Amino acid sequence: MRASTATEWMLVVLAVIQTGVGAAEPEGTVTGTAQPQIRREPLVLRQGGTPEAPAVFDGQGMIIDLGIDVTEENWARAGDLWTSAGPLLKREPQEAGNFPGLFLEEVPLVIPRDREAERLHPERRGRCYVAPEKLEPGQMGYASDGSFYFRWPTGKTPGQGRIYLPPKPGISCVTIACSHIIVKNITARHASNDGFNIHNKWVGIRLENVRAFSNGDEGISAHDDVQMDVVNAEVAWNGSTAGGIADVNRCTTTYTNCRVHDNVGAAFYFSGRQHKVSDCVIYNQEHDFRIAEGTVVERERIEWRKK
């Protein structure tokens, strides 16, 4: 079954949270207990294993969804242009040009910058929003009173689909803060930051059979001196202007047998030390790779598709 369609990934599933030998227990979770709902809290993994016996965290199909459903809020509807009655859940307007402010089903609604207004008001750089009548499909902005307004994306029928607000800024679905750990069978979506986020000098990290859909920044992102291997992942509809996957600083990563598609930025953005991408499929991307100067990237058997 393909999990990349909006209908399928919206299904509520039974998730079993189970840790392997030496694996970290996620904060606020009772392990080994069937959960009749999608997990609504971030997952932080802090305890790893050894090179010979890595810890294992098997989500067994767990979906971590941090989105807040605001479909039933008081929206003023004018065709495909909808406007909220004041700030949603008292949320402050966020800076334009970085992260999406809402998700319409799987689609991130980007916040374009009004650069002409910024030239007139340089002190408001990033806080000048495109007027409602000038928005393109799939874009949004904020009114002077903090109200959200957006235009429904192409291919979406106004009023048919759920609208999600990501959590407050800086929150990732899965944070890995240890070395020598295998994390598998998890879907991460609707984070305000990354689906899977790894910082520091952790090594021996392996992601298997994971999915990162519709997150505010990257789907998967390694930083600093991280060493990580990713196998059988799907990364799609993430809102970062860098890429669906973005590995930076001095990290070393590999991606094998992955599908990357429909992200706002490139499929892969690399500015780390050394990376390898093999046996991967990329489609519905304006850009496939963005590679910073001096970064070593090996590519083997990459398949590109329009859709």
Domain boundaries, the chain: 6-67+168-305, 68-165
pLDDT of residue 115: 92
**What does 65-78 look like in DSSP terms, one character per residue?**
E--EE-TTS-EEEE
pLDDT of residue 306: 76
Are the CB atoms for 209 and 257 separated by under 8 Å?
no
Q: State the chain's mean pLDDT as an integer.
A: 89
Tens digits of residue pLDDT in 178-198: 999 999 999 999 999 999 999
CB burial of residue 12 (10 Å; 0-12, 13-18, 19+): exposed
CATH match for 6-67+168-305 among 1.10.260.40, 3.40.50.300, 2.160.20.10, 3.90.190.20: 2.160.20.10
Q: Which two tokens stand for residue 66?
A: 């941090």
Whether residue 72 has pLDDT greater than 50: yes
Tens digits of residue pLDDT in 213-253: 999 999 999 999 999 999 999 999 999 999 999 999 999 99
Backbone angles phi, psi at 132, to 5 degrees: -55, -45
The H or E element containing residue 108 is strand 107-109
What band does 102 get if pLDDT is binned at 50, 70 and 90? very high
